Amino acid sequence: MLANGSLDQVLILVVEDEPDMAREIAAQLTSLGYRARIAETGAAGLEAARRDRAALLIVDRMLNGIDSLPMIETLRNEGIRSPVLVVSALASVDDRIRGLKAGGDDYLIKPFAMDELAARVEALLRRSSDTSATTLQVGPLKLDLIARSASRGERTLDLLPAEFKLLEYLVRHSGQTVTRAMLLEDVWHYRFMPRTNLVDVHIGKLRRKLDLPGDPPLIRSVRRSGFILHAGE
């Protein structure tokens, strides 16, 4: 899990070129119990993000006339996955979409109320502490989300990328029934439901890799709805 244990250790990087705005945001964050650090240019923000491992970045869209989206794209390309809240006076739907596509996680239009900023920050941090773990474990199953490798007990599983994605999804929903429709939508990104046995074929392959003869089966079928991963917890 993220090193989010106590609130006062959570560092938020504020990349904002207007000093008054930066100070106001930082003061708000501090009053909420976070640590805030300010960078005034995209270059300084990039450097601080690489160095400080902030739990969250708040990035102004225009920094001294320079669009900050390429900086966010650079962060993402370098594997820095901290959530980014883009704040901007650019309010069009296109701008919002571009901001999210560049790797921003949320987009807040200026001017905004500080309470609104606080609510967004808290929501993003909550979401990221759920998803930013680099390993997942249920029972004997262990997934390394960075190396994209998986093991059951001592045995390394030799999974194809699609099988890994499927297993990751099942592990994230372990103990819950996941339907074929959920899998097609969330794992394969189908927008419509084709008549296909794609899911069953992949589940079958995954099962053969997960369970050796004599192992308790980890994936069970749920009649007429889908599957459930039970890893003995």
Residues that bind Ca ion (CB under 5 A): 17, 60, 62
Question: HSE (CB half, 13 Å, CA atoms) of 3?
Answer: 9
Tokens of 171: 């592990």
CB nearer to Ca ion: pick between 18 and 168: 18
CB nearer to Ca ion: pick between 26 and 167: 26
The least distance separating Ca ion from the CB of residue 74, rounded to whole angstroms, comes to 18
The least distance separating Ca ion from the CB of residue 125, rounded to whole angstroms, comes to 23
CB 150 within 8 A of CB 144: yes
CB nearer to Ca ion: pick between 88 and 128: 88
The least distance separating Ca ion from the CB of residue 62, rounded to whole angstroms, comes to 4
The angle subtended at Cα 34 by Cα 126 and Cα 43, nearest 5°, is 95
Number of Cβ within a 10 Å radius of residue 135: 12
Tokens of 222: 């749920």
